[in-house]
Amino acid sequence: MDHAIPTTESIISLKGVFDGVAARHLEERLLRAMPGDRILVDVTQVREFHDFGVAVLGRALTLCRAEVKLRGLRQHQVRVLRYFGIDTGPLERAVLPEGI
């Protein structure tokens, strides 16, 4: 008999402006996630990132109990996350070339 806890896989797609308000909404969703959940946050359609929003995202990533991956980050956002102590090694693959 398998007693493994089922995991949830979900994709959160964001677009437009990623500011403090958008970041707080994402933070709420991430903090509700359970251990074992897998979440892909797709920011490929975000056209403008506010550094404060990225800072809130960084905090949420450190507190989230789920496995979170980010797709579509640009080098600047990865750098900001690094400033806040987030291990950005796994995020490097998600970086779009500058100018896109």
pLDDT in tens, 35-45: 999 999 999 99
Q: Identify the CATH number of the domain defined by range 10-91.
A: 3.30.750.24
Measured distance CA(95)–CA(58) in Å, rounded? 16
Q: How much is the mean pLDDT over the chain?
A: 86
Distances in Å between the alpha carbon of 48 and those of 10, 41, 73?
23, 16, 11
pLDDT of residue 8 exceeding 70, the answer is: no
Beta-carbon count within 10 A of 20 CB? 13
Q: Could you give the count of Cα atoms lying within 13 Å of 20 in the half-sphere of its Cβ?
A: 1
Q: What is the mean pLDDT of residues 44-50?
A: 95
Give pLDDT, residue 25. Answer: 98
Nearest residue to 39 (alpha-carbon basis) of 48, 51, 52, 26 = 26
Phi and psi (nearest 5°) for 29? -65, -40
